[in-house]
Structures are given as structure tokens and as C-alpha cells.
Amino acid sequence: MLLPLSLLTLSLSSLFLFTFSRPLSQGFSNSTINLDDSLVYLWPLPSHFTFGDDTLSVDPDLSLSLAGVGGNSPILTEAFQRYLKIIFKHNSRVSGDNLRGGLIYDIGELKITVNSDDETLQLGVDEGYSLSIARTDGYSVIGKAQIEANSVYGALRGLETFSQLCYFNYESKTVEVYKAPWYIRDEPRFAYRGLLLDTSRHYLPIDVIKQIIDSMSFAKLNVLHWHIIDEESFPLEVPMYPNLWNGAYTKLERYTVGDAHDIVNYAKLRGINVMAEVDVPGHAESWGHGYPDLWPSSSCREPLDVSKNFTFDVVSGILTEMRKIFPFELFHLGGDEVNTDCWSSTPHVEQWLQDQNMTTKDAYQYFVLRAQEIAISKNWTPVNWEETFNTFSSNLNPLTVVHNWWGPGVCPKAVAKGFRCIYSNQGVWYLDHLDVPWEDVYNAEPIEGINDISKQELVLGGEVCMWGETADASDIQQTIWPRAAAAAERLWSRKEATAAINHTLVTLPRLQYFRCLLARRGVPAAPVTNRYARNPPRGAGSCYEQ
């Protein structure tokens, strides 16, 4: 049963002014600072919710009951085990034995109902869920938390929300839910909520990629855009062209096909799609270490040699191999920052251009469109960086998703021409720009400048980009977090909930709280209010104030 909407009348302004007979701060009483009880410490904020003023204890032996045709999924049982570790990480039974005497805990069971057994993870999969946490209603002995969702992935989002409502009470040594009963009905605003990782500028070990996938699931992000290859290195195995990964930095800094499968599967278990990218023809110098013929000449190593069929054989071979690994319907073909100067200065390419009666700009278009054809023939929807749209929009395949990055105003143009768009305006959503404060990340608006509702729907969502020039395994997480979380709320929560609020009083303490939640879960998220991202705390103090 989905919760009746009548229970969920949304009245945000009144929610934030609520007062409580039992203050939330009892959960934080070991601290000398007091968190503002009137705020809702859920990140990202659910679309509809109501709550009360009761406190419920949660049984450390919380049991799971599964219902619905999709309830038997191992994705759910694995996720439940993960969240038990998160919720009960203070190991309350070690220190809290017998503290409650013979008392029964208020919440003894989590019931998850999933209405569909289709576990296909795709763009637009139903991520909605409802969650209720209430004391026993008289019909059953034990109180329950209940999650209901149409897909197993919606249930994962509900589990995340449930975990964020569970607090460890340091005095009673039990896990408690404050402000119960909770009735939440939630769904994302955008279907595409991405984070880009760049494993070419620095190799990221598999364990690190998995840590990042975990942290994405905490913020309800759902697309890992894997910029695997670039001009600096080619770390991925391509069985059909086994010399390509000679372009890896070292033999130790490579991903096998098995490793890539492992990452895709790990992400899927957390409801996260992996969109792979092959950035052609510009960012591809590393390809030629294994196959020098891909370079127009030894002094002109990118863009890839447009004049040779071999180039497109290799592109096709890579995509054939990648198709076996990446089931997501979107595939990124790059197409950005193509400097064609050295095409015209390489004699055999120049000759080819003349024979084809093409300018270098024509050849750039020819390359991109031919790569699109290859991707489409493999049943992929091509995504291209905005230069392709900016340069030859009328010739782009109409299936193309335009990936904005240069600045504002591109998605409005793309959707006006009927293309779909992903928003990544570098002025606000490039995480390697360390001087962008969290507010600017938070206030970015993917549909800015698009008034027509049917056009707004063409904006699939947005993505924060963690380019890897100065980010490796040692500093990537604190560069991503907490700013990526600011974007995550923008992409998940209702526009009305994230706008027109005093961000300093309402949003900042919530984000600071979420940053400390990440830290408690082992994610080294940086302080929120530092002038530059990734900087250390400015002095001693509480996590909740930094």
C-alpha cells in the first residue's frame, strides 16, 4: 500500500517552523553545540514528508521482511546488510547490553515491498518510494518501518533515507528515530544525476572507485560518468585491440575487462548506472602508443587520424567491447576541444581533405557523425560535449544528448532544437574549480532559461565533473564532497524546496550535517564553508560547524 497523499500535504514553510516537545538535541547531548531542532536533517530533501514529535528506539536485531513480486531481490538483501552496518556502527550491543532491560524496542522490523520484479537499471527507472516509521498501531505487537517502491532501485533510495533518520543515542546506547512518526513520499526531480570521474589524468584504484560509488548512493546520485580514456593514458583493456592499453601509465595502472564488469556490477547494486566515455577525436593521444597509425604523424598525435578507415575500425572495436560491459543506454563520445590545426599540416591528411573536398571543420563533423553512427548501430544513445552542438547542430543525430559544459545558456538552445541536454556548466559544476563555493553549486539551475514545460522535460538532469589533473586517490573524495552533495540536492529535490529559502540558516546547517554524516561513514568530505574546496579545517572545532 502506498501512503495516502492526504497524509503528505506539503507545507514546507510550516515544517521549518515546527517546534517540538522533545528536542532532537537529546541525540547530540554529548556535544556542546546544539543543532537546530527545527530543521530536517535529510539530504537530499524528500519531495513530500510529514513528521511528529515522538522518539522511537530501533532494535539492533532489526529484521527485514520482504514483500511484493520484486521483494525477493538479492539487491535488497545485500543493501539491507550494508545499511545495518551503517545504522548500528557504534556496535551498541557491545556496550549497551541489558541497558534496556527487558524492554521491547519500538521498531523491530523493516518491511520492504517492491511491486515489480524488473531489475533492469536504466535512465528513468522508477526511483520513487514511500517510507513510514511509526509506533505500533494496535494491530501488530512490534512497530515497523515500511518502505514501498515500484522498483528495487526506489527501495534502495528509501533505505538510504531510513538510514539518515536513525541516530545513535550516546546515553542510552541505542539507535533512535526522532520526530516520529515519519511519512515520506519521495521521487527525484531529474532522471539523470551524474558525477564524472576521470581515470586518465590519474589512475584511480578500483577500491577508490567503489568508495566513490558508495558515497554517490548516500547522496542519491545515479550516474557515474566514467571518463576512462584521455590523451594522457589509456588504462582499459580492449581485447579486440590488445595494444591499446600500452597507453596506460604503467602496467600496474590498468583495468581489465573483469575489473570494469566488477565496477558496473558494484554500481548497479547501489542503483547507479555507469556511462562510459570515449572522447573522440580530440582527447585521444594515448591510443597511438599501441597503434601509432592512429596518429596522423609522430608530431601530430591528436586528433585521431580522420583519413584512415583503421581509425574507425578501432573506434568500432572499442565500442563493440565496451557494449559487453556497459548496459546503460547512454554512451558518451566526447567531441570536445578538437584542435584540427595539425590535420591540415599533415600531408596525407591534407591530401585526403582535398580529395573529400572537406575543410578541417567538415572533417571534425564527419568524425563525430561517423562515431555516432557506430554507437547507434550498437543500440546506444550518443552523448556529446556541447562543441558538437555549437558547431554543427543541424547535422547532429536527433538522438544526441548534448552535454553542456562551457557556460550557461546552452541547454536552452539545445532543447529549443529538440535535443536532450545534460547540464554541467563549468562555472558552477566543475569540481576541479576549487574556488566555487557550495552556495554557487547549490544555486545552479539546470532548467534556467527554459520556460516551456515540454522543453524543460528535455533536460535530463545534470552532472558534476571531477576532472583529474590534480585529483588522484589521495585527494579526490574531499574535492568531490561536500560540493557534489549540493548539486545532488538540486537534482533530486523539488525546485520549490531548494529555492526561496534562507540558505545560511536552513541549507548550510543541513549540508554541514550531511558532511559529518559522510565522515561518519568513512567518506573524507571536506569542510563546507572553506573558501577553497579540499582545504583542511581552519582550526579546532566541531564537524557540524565547519
Partner 1 sequence: MELGGPRCAGLVLLLLLISCGQGRGADPINIWPMPKSVTSGKQTLLLSNDFVLNTQGSKYPDSSGILKDGFSRFLQVLRASHVADSNSSYSSAHFPVCKGLHVVILSPNDKLQYGVDESYKLSVTALGAVYAYLEANTVYGALHGLQTFSQLCHFNFKARVFEVRQAPWTIIDQPRFSYRGLLIDTSRHYQPLIMIKNVIDSMAYTKLNVLHWHIVDTQSFPLEIPSYPKLYAQTRGINVLAEIDVPGHTQSWGIGYPSLWPSTDCQQPLDVSNELTFKVIDGILSDFSKVFNYNFVHLGGDEVNTNLCWLGSHYELLKKKGLNESEAYQYFVLRSQEIALSHGYDIVNWEETFNNFGSKLSRKTVVHNWIGSGVAERVVAAGLRCIVSNQDKWYLHYLDTTWQEFYMNEPLTNITNPKQQELVIGGEVCMWGEYIDGSDIEQTIWPRAAAAAERLWTPYDKLAKDPRRVTGRLAHFRCLLNERGVPAAPLNGPGRVAPEEPGSCYKQ
268 to 307, contacts with partner 1 by CB under 8 A? none
Q: Does the protein bind partner 1 through residue 540 (CB under 8 A)?
A: yes
What does the radius of gyration of the chain's CA atoms come to, in whole angstroms? 25
Dihedral angle at the C-alpha atoms of 161, 164, 167, 168, nearest 10 degrees? 110
Q: Does the protein bind partner 1 through residue 91 (CB under 8 A)?
A: yes
Instruction: Label the pairing between strands 192-198 and 182-186.
Output: unpaired
Q: Does the protein bind partner 1 through residue 98 (CB under 8 A)?
A: no
Q: Please check whether residue 383 is in contact with residue 414, taking contact to mean a CB–CB distance below 8 angstroms.
A: no
The answer to whether 337 is a known catalytic residue is yes
Find the binder of partner 1 among 30, 98, 357, 394 (CB under 8 A). 30
Closer to partner 1 by Cβ: residue 149 or 471: 471
Question: What angle, rounded to 10 degrees, do the helices at 206-218 and 152-164 form?
Answer: 80
Q: Does the protein bind partner 1 through residue 536 (CB under 8 A)?
A: yes
Find the binder of partner 1 among 10, 473, 501, 508 (CB under 8 A). 473
Rounded-to-integer distance, Cα 60 and Cα 98, Å: 12
Q: Which of 253, 337, 373, 448 is catalytic?
A: 337
Element (H, E) at 225: strand 223-227
Closer to partner 1 by Cβ: residue 363 or 471: 471
Find the binder of partner 1 among 9, 11, 13, 32 (CB under 8 A). 32
Closer to partner 1 by Cβ: residue 448 or 475: 475
Rounded-to-integer distance, Cα 67 and Cα 81, Å: 17
Q: How far is CA 532 from CA 9, 203, 528, 537, in A?
A: 40, 24, 9, 11
Residue closest to 349 by CA, chosen among 339, 359, 336: 359
Q: Does the protein bind partner 1 through residue 475 (CB under 8 A)?
A: yes
Identify the DSSP state of 425: -
Instruction: Label the pairing between strands 174-180 and 182-186.
Output: unpaired
- What string marks each residue from 368 to 397 as x (binds partner 1 by CB under 8 A) or -? ------------------------------
Q: By rule CB under 8 A, what count of residues binds partner 1?
A: 61
Q: Does the protein bind partner 1 through residue 451 (CB under 8 A)?
A: no
Find the binder of partner 1 among 470, 495, 496, 532 (CB under 8 A). 470
Closer to partner 1 by Cβ: residue 232 or 463: 232
Residue closest to 155 by CA, chosen among 42, 253, 79, 232: 79
Residue closest to 306 by CA, chosen among 280, 286, 268: 280
Q: Does the protein bind partner 1 through residue 95 (CB under 8 A)?
A: yes
Q: Does the protein bind partner 1 through residue 524 (CB under 8 A)?
A: yes
Rounded-to-integer distance, Cα 295 and Cα 288, Å: 6
Residue closest to 277 by CA, chosen among 232, 236, 222, 310: 236
148 to 207, contacts with partner 1 by CB under 8 A? 170, 200-203, 205-207
Closer to partner 1 by Cβ: residue 9 or 30: 30
Catalytic site positions:
337
User: Could you list the residues that contact partner 1 (CB under 8 A)?
Assistant: 30, 32, 89-91, 94-95, 170, 200-203, 205-208, 210-211, 232-233, 237, 249-254, 256, 258-259, 261-262, 468-478, 519-522, 524-527, 534, 536-543, 546
